[in-house]
Amino acid sequence: MTEAFRVAHLDDLDRIKVAGGQYRPIRRRLGVRSFGINAYTAAKAGDQVVERHTEGAGGGSGRQEELYMVLSGHAEFTVAAETVDAPAGTIVFIPDVDAERSAVAVADETTVLVVGGPADSPIPTSPFEYWFAAEAPYTAGDYDRAVEVASEGLAEWPESGQLHYQLACFHALAGRRETALEHLAVAVANDPRVAEWASDDSDLDSIRDDPRFPEHPSA
Amino acid at site 195: A
Question: In 3D, which of 166, 169, 167 has the Cα closest to residue 202?
Answer: 169
Query: What local confidence, expressed as pLDDT, does residue 99 receive?
Result: 96
Q: How far is CA 1 from CA 4, 98, 138, 145, in A?
A: 9, 42, 42, 45
Domain ranges for the chain, please list them: 10-118, 127-207
* pLDDT digit string, tens, across residues 145-167: 999 999 999 999 999 999 999 99
Q: Going by CATH, does the domain composed of 127-207 fall within 1.10.3720.10?
A: no
* pLDDT digit string, tens, across residues 63-99: 899 999 999 999 999 999 999 999 999 999 999 999 9
Query: What local confidence, expressed as pLDDT, does residue 61 receive?
Result: 67
Judge whether 171 and 158 are in contact, CB under 8 Å: no
Amino acid at site 219: A
The percentage of residues in the chain with a pLDDT greater than 70, rounded to a whole number, is 95
Beta-carbon count within 10 A of 18 CB? 11
Q: How far apart (Å, rounded) are the C-alpha atoms in residues 102 and 100?
A: 7
Q: 10-118 has which fold? A: Jelly Rolls (2.60.120)
Do the domains 10-118 and 127-207 sit in the same CATH topology, yes or no? Answer: no
Low-confidence ranges of the chain (pLDDT < 50): none
